[in-house]
Structure 1
Amino acid sequence: MNSENEDEMSYDIQVAVATHKPYRMPSDSCYLPLHVGAELHPDVCTDMQQDNEGENISASNASYSELAGLYWLWKNSYAAYKGLVHYRRHFRTSDSIKKSSEDRFCRIATGEDFASLFEKTGAQIILPKARNYVIETIDGHYRHTLPGEQLDAARSAIEGACPEYLSAFDAEMAGTKAHMFNMLVAKSDVFDAYCEWLFPLLGNVERCLGAKNYDAFNARWPGRISEMLLDTWLVTNDVMWAEMSTVSPEPVDWIAKGKGFLAAKFLGKKYGKSF
């Protein structure tokens, strides 16, 4: 093995794959299959790391979704680089042969892919490529698809708890691009600092929002609001990022996604399920 590869492989990277059900997992050693919501469903995924061990918010998985996994990694992992992906959404490898493989799991980024990108760019965090909604703002898209009072509560919470972040939040809401999915791989100090800011702020958002009689789909608002907060934190703290494409182990129904997007935009039909 040459010295360049040795440098890459020396990166201590742990990327949790958040899942709530048995599912095929990436084979690369950087990945840690993580059962989120183990406190609620202890008999599922018993062969993987449980998120109710150590300091955790596993019991809040019904509303916090994959953020229960983010919290667990923050409190229980001591890797030099930490990250979170989803069982059905991953970062894509840069290997030209692998990324065209018929086996979609071969297209998933490896620890070496992450190490190489950190080395090449000097970035502190790797994010999925920003989503561009083109015909509407981030604020408009959220309000068309989900309860708008959640955004209002987020802004109020920022204004009250950390007003220095308000200008970045407002700028993001007025734009059309944002880093979504609660996916990231970051240097541990950056990862931990973000979590230290995010989770107390979500508690403030909940207080600003007040009691709401949401159904199960809309009760998962913390995971969706957090997608609005990542860029706000990165911009305010001048954190340098790099981007990777994403890949799904399953074919994506882009027609259904497109129909849902247009129906929300032009017909006022809010989302009632994930696509």
Structure 2
Amino acid sequence: MKTVIMIAAHKKFPMPHAEGYLPVLVGAAKNYKPSIKYQRDDEGKNISSKNPNYNELTAVYWAWKNLKDVDAIGLVHYRRLFFDTKPYSLNNVLSKPKIEKLLSKYDVILPKKRNYYIESNYSHYIHAHHKEPLDKTREIIKKYYPQYLINFDKVMQRKKAHMFNMFVMKRDAFDSYCEFIFGVLKDVESRVDISDYSVQEKRVFGYISELLMDVWLDTTKQKYTEVKWEQLGGKNNLKKAVSLVERKIGIKTKTHF
């Protein structure tokens, strides 16, 4: 089984050397540095120049259009990775044999869900980001992807979601996922003016795509499993808790740590 797990990175960083893992320099069209010997996301058919708005999805698009003879495709981040057991280190990431064993039973491997506890996915999003793009996403799904609408509304009301755009998928599932998210996001992009958004908020299409994962997952009835993920370098849980409360009372704060 030919499996490629991309590691999205915008700079040089220590990488796992496990079989099947491929560091990808995202936004290479504007951020290329000859000293970084990673696969670039601006080769072949690509949307690399949209990285400030699409985040790591520029790597996903590159893989969709350019990795043809691959049985399974995945995405992790240079600091946020899948693990099987402790210790959580670059030498102990989820192995290719383990991934392929899971894919013999499931179509999709995802990180364990993130729980917002006191907020729905919708309220969490609009307390942290501009409301218009997410509402416009619903309008587009209702008009052009009506089979997804029921699950879009369900996902928005839940308090848990598979976040971070992390996954490993069999090829057929990956193609289905890409057709949906890039189709929806292209329409949202054409209908929303983000010219006056902050640098962080201009990453809007990457943020929205995180919520679209479960919409696609539930509608297409993919058979999936969850695995442990961890952020190397630690997570500031106190900062996250304070931020969650601040958003609840109307103070917009950074949401991705």
Could you say which TM-score interval applies, normalised by the shorter chain?
over 0.9
Encode CA deviations 1:21-67: one digit per residue, 9 max, x unaligned: 00011110110000001100122653111111111111111111100
Of stretches 222-231 and 200-209 in structure 1, the one that deviates more from structure 2 is 200-209
TM-score by length of structure 1 reads 0.89
- Partner residue in 1 for 2:45: 55
Unaligned stretches of 5+ residues in structure 1: 1-10
- Partner residue in 1 for 2:228: 245
- Partner residue in 2 for 1:136: 119
- Partner residue in 2 for 1:198: 181
Aligned residue for 2:240, secondary structure, equals helix
- Partner residue in 2 for 1:265: 248
Code of the residue aligned with 1:270 in structure 2: it is K
Encode CA deviations 1:200-230: one digit per residue, 9 max, x unaligned: 2101112332454101100000000001111
TM-score by length of structure 2 reads 0.95
1:156 is matched with which residue: 126, 139, 163? 139
Aligned residue for 1:245, secondary structure, equals strand
2:62 is matched with which residue: 54, 72, 75? 72
Structure 1 CA distance for aligned equivalents of residues 82 and 161 of structure 2 = 16
Contact 2:60 2:75 in 1 (8 A): yes
Structure 2 CA distance for aligned equivalents of residues 50 and 222 of structure 1 = 20
Code of the residue aligned with 1:180 in structure 2: it is M
1:46 is matched with which residue: 36, 40, 48? 36
CA apart distance, 1:182: 0.4
Structure 2 CA distance for aligned equivalents of residues 46 and 236 of structure 1 = 39
Code of the residue aligned with 2:81 in structure 1: it is H
1:106-185 to 2 correspondences below 5 Å: 106-119=91-104, 122-185=105-168
Structure 1 CA distance for aligned equivalents of residues 132 and 54 of structure 2 = 18
Code of the residue aligned with 1:247 in structure 2: it is E
Encode CA deviations 1:129-168: one digit per residue, 9 max, x unaligned: 1112121111111111111112101101111211111000
**Residues 63 and 44 (structure 1 numbering): CA distance in 2 closer, same or farther, change over 3 Å?**
farther
2:77 is matched with which residue: 86, 104, 107? 86
Greater Rg over alpha carbons, structure: 1
Q: Does 1:207 align with 2:198?
A: no
Aligned residue for 1:139, secondary structure, equals helix
Structure 2 CA distance for aligned equivalents of residues 254 and 113 of structure 1 = 29
**Residues 249 and 48 (structure 1 numbering): CA distance in 2 closer, same or farther, change over 3 Å?**
same
Code of the residue aligned with 1:114 in structure 2: it is I
**Residues 274 and 177 (structure 1 numbering): CA distance in 2 closer, same or farther, change over 3 Å?**
closer
Code of the residue aligned with 2:50 in structure 1: it is S
Code of the residue aligned with 1:271 in structure 2: it is T
Contact 2:128 2:255 in 1 (8 A): no
Contact 1:136 1:176 in 2 (8 A): yes
The alignment of Structure 1 onto Structure 2 pairs a total of residues equal to: 256
Share of identical aligned residues, percent?
38
Contact 1:169 1:232 in 2 (8 A): yes
Aligned residue for 1:216, secondary structure, equals coil
**Residues 192 and 130 (structure 1 numbering): CA distance in 2 closer, same or farther, change over 3 Å?**
same
- Partner residue in 2 for 1:14: 4
Contact 2:11 2:36 in 1 (8 A): no
Code of the residue aligned with 2:90 in structure 1: it is F
Aligned residue for 2:203, secondary structure, equals helix
**Residues 211 and 259 (structure 1 numbering): CA distance in 2 closer, same or farther, change over 3 Å?**
closer
CA apart distance, 1:124: 0.3
Of stretches 180-189 and 208-217 in structure 1, the one that deviates more from structure 2 is 208-217
- Partner residue in 1 for 2:239: 256
